[in-house]
Chain A
Amino acid sequence: MSAIDTASRTSVRTEEQAKEFKDGLIREIPNLRAFAASLSGSMQLADDLVQDTLLKAWGNSDKFEPGTSLRAWLFTILRNTYYSLYRKRGREVQDSEGTYAERMATHGNQESHLDLADFRKALAKLPEEQREVLIMVGATGLSYEEAAEICGVAIGTIKSRVNRARTKLAELLSIGSVDDLGPDRASAAAMQRVGSENIGS
């Protein structure tokens, strides 16, 4: 429980402020998990990452400015934690277990199941710097300005990364679509890998 003690070190808040902050964190957990999974490619890593993020956020709550976006603030913490601690682990997990795409495609309705799995495989192939901004501006509701601030780059850079990400995804998905019709998921995935390697070269 030492992590909890550390996180509680700076307690200069009133009980109401603490409650409000805690409720905000609880509200953001689903978004943190979705962003973490998109970054790390693994639901298990994502939940470890979210836990670290919540601990850091709690310990640094005095640095959060009320009235600004809690989501953007939390995403900044999560992203920094990912790049400093998790990036290497993420690659190892993906190498040993494959991407999370297959294992995660259990929620949602069955009709879109295959499409979603294919999309996740393609998403996992994007360079991190493109994937993170595409998720931020395309799915989380964050603005381009917020994404630029979170990543510490200019808005123009965010825009060009988003465009490159979309172009690359379109490329990957049109290649994948033929193989996806096959009955054998494993061989379809193998064919897809071969296909994407050809494209990349």
Chain B
Amino acid sequence: MNRLDAAMSETGEGDNDDFELVLDPKVQESIGRSLKAHYDDIVNAPVPDKFLVLLAQLEATEQRAAGASTDERN
């Protein structure tokens, strides 16, 4: 909730020295929608397999390393 409140009420409160221009709320809203559309478009795109392969390799390497050190102790 705090995060949402912060995002909604950020419009220049207590910080007016840095800028004189205040945008029309409708323009702000429109920019906000476009920002989300741009970002979500990529978020919702299929994730290339190579990332999952990479993480699986990292995990396997770590498990091998852990297994090896266990063997050494024994």
| Chain A interfacial positions (CB closer than 8 Å to B) | 1, 4-5, 7-8, 11, 13, 15, 18-19, 22, 25-26, 29-31, 33-34, 37-38, 43, 47, 50-51, 54-55, 58, 104, 107-108, 112, 115-116, 119-120, 123, 134-135, 137-141, 143-145, 156, 159-160, 162-164, 166-167, 169-170, 173
Contact = CB atoms under 8 A, between A and B. Distances in A.
B10 interface: yes
Contacts of B51: 26, 29, 50-51, 54
By size class, the interface of chain B is 35 or more
A167 B23 contact: yes
Contacts of A108: 37, 41
Given A29-B51, A33-B42, A160-B19, A4 B58 contact: yes
24 contacts: A4-B54, A8-B65, A11-B66, A26-B55, A34-B42, A34-B43, A38-B39, A47-B48, A104-B41, A107-B44, A107-B45, A116-B38, A116-B41, A119-B38, A138-B32, A138-B36, A156-B18, A159-B10, A162-B10, A163-B12, A163-B18, A164-B19, A166-B28, A167-B21
A163 B34 contact: no
B3 interface: yes
Interface of B: 2-3, 6-7, 10-12, 15, 18-19, 21, 23, 27-28, 31-32, 34-45, 47-48, 50-52, 54-55, 57-59, 61-63, 65-66
Contacts of A138: 31-32, 35-36
A22 to B, nearest CB: 5
B21 to A, nearest CB: 5
B55 A22 contact: yes
Given A8-B62, A18-B62, A160-B19, A143 B7 contact: yes
B32 A11 contact: no
Contacts of A15: 63, 66
A51 B12 CA distance: 37
